[in-house]
Chains A and B, each alone.
With several copies, the nearest count.
Chain A
């Protein structure tokens, strides 16, 4: 299989409410990535547009965004796997290049969630599960992750404080990230205050266990070996891609104390890259909720099943630890603009592997990993990157 590299990355600032349209927001990530790769539109052979379609009235946004960015007549298409859309887009870009169909492909993720009214937003939230068999019970994302937390608690003795540890770590780095929505420090005491992080959401999850919606965009440009070497001084190679699905309905799940899609996608990615969890120097994992990061740590093999709380407690997931996780602040601090999320994770890892991560730079990383989940473990993507 021919090699494929990331040659450009970009991201808008993630904000509560973007004062513009999706095309204008997409431009922000696009222009950063194009400057980063130092290429022209004519060098881009195809674009993959990633978002969740329910948050904007524009139908088929791929066309509108491609036109705005001057990316006609190259092919473009829209891809969606909920919160992992741009990681799915990256896998497709990889395959379009590795197959020889294209030399250079752009993956653009975007989401504006703030322009719906609160009512419209709540209505869409209600349709996030199987609308025939589960949405009818009044389910929501936090409640589904809460079911997983409850199961993890019951099976391994995990405590709410173990989850709070994850949020405290996240905030430590959110403070440093000027692209993040939430930039205040968080202390354990804040979880004792029901007006702050301690407010109940869906037992056992509290306000501090949940990330916020955001508006944002991300852009990743990949190329084949020849173009990567021509365009780019520090290509970051895609070494492993894994992806999996699970049943939407909870009735189809073997267990709720982990996400099967994370385990399966991870296995595929490690196998393809020819490495093991121990080789990973820095990771971005999908932390829409604290319990999601806890499960990711275990599902990816950074800890044994049930060993996550101890790893977190020992601060091994901090920048100085054995496996730094989400040291850009994660979704808990950055916010979670669905379609843009995976691309933002990729950008963080690429910058780490180029030694360009500024105040969060890990020392000489060789391998980085991105773990991105769509829905409540419905879709899972794991991508492994390496430097020359």
Chain B
């Protein structure tokens, strides 16, 4: 899935720190409303976030798969301070969700009110594509 050098990945996240990667197609899928990981055609290992290469098979023979269904909330935290570029969005809540075969890291949907009270470790969550406050691509978790 190697591409010519492009900077599609710089569309990802409130602040982007990198634009060049061999999994830039992740961005196209996200624009189409799909959160995608990769799966190794040789050994079946699933990767999220997606990888272009598999260390188990020493190959770059990869397919895309879609992150669907529900996962369990592993942990979460609401930030009152943030790094440069993110402070306008404060407070926001980050979270880790376990889908079984893989986990997904991201933010809780800002529409969820009082996340520190309403969220519980272990509850079911689902990820969906979204836009950041400054119009960049991202995805968020909602209680499912």
On whether A140 and B79 interact (CB within 8 A), knowing A19-B20, A70-B55, the answer reads: yes
Which residue of chain B has its CB nearest to the CB of A256? B75
**A212 within 8 Å of B (CB atoms):** no
For the side of the interface on A, what is the size category? 35 or more
Cβ B84 vs Cβ A203 within 8 A: no
Mask for B38-61, Cβ within 8 A of A = 1, else 0? 000000000011011101101110
Query: Which label, helix, strand, loop or mixed, suits the secondary structure of the B interface?
Result: loop
**B15 within 8 Å of A (CB atoms):** yes
List, in ascending order, chain B residues with CB within 8 A of A95's CB: none
Which residue of chain B has its CB nearest to the CB of A146? B77
Cβ A137 vs Cβ B106 within 8 A: yes
Give the shortest distance, in Å, between B54 (CB) and chain A (any CB): 9
Which residue of chain A has its CB nearest to the CB of B99? A251
How far is B24's CA from A220's CA once the two chains are assembled, in angstroms?
29
Give the shortest distance, in Å, between B97 (CB) and chain A (any CB): 9
Give the shortest distance, in Å, between A74 (CB) and chain B (any CB): 13
Give the shortest distance, in Å, between A249 (CB) and chain B (any CB): 7
Q: How many residues of B contact A (CB 8 A)?
A: 55
Which residue of chain B has its CB nearest to the CB of A27? B53
Give the shortest distance, in Å, between B129 (CB) and chain A (any CB): 14
On whether A147 and B58 interact (CB within 8 A), knowing A19-B3, A136-B12, the answer reads: no
On whether A131 and B76 interact (CB within 8 A), knowing A137-B107, A140-B81, A251-B105, the answer reads: no
Of the candidates B48, B49, B94, B102, which one forms a contact with A132 in the assembled complex, judged by CB atoms under 8 Å apart? B49
**B142 within 8 Å of A (CB atoms):** no
How far is B138's CA from A57's CA once the two chains are assembled, in angstroms?
20
Of the candidates B2, B13, B17, B77, which one forms a contact with A127 in the assembled complex, judged by CB atoms under 8 Å apart? B17
How far is B121's CA from A149's CA once the two chains are assembled, in angstroms?
12
List, in ascending order, chain A residues with CB within 8 A of B58's CB: 31, 34-35
Can you list 16 A-B pairs with a CB-CB distance of less than 8 A?
Answer: A19-B20, A19-B22, A27-B55, A30-B55, A31-B55, A137-B105, A138-B94, A146-B77, A148-B75, A150-B77, A199-B80, A202-B77, A202-B78, A250-B103, A253-B103, A256-B96
Binding site for B on A (CB under 8 A): 17-21, 24, 27, 30-31, 34-35, 41, 57-58, 68-71, 115, 119, 122-123, 125-127, 131-140, 142-143, 146-151, 154-155, 199-205, 249-253, 256
Binding site for A on B (CB under 8 A): 2-6, 9, 12-22, 48-49, 51-53, 55-56, 58-60, 74-86, 89, 92, 94, 96, 102-107, 116, 120-122, 138
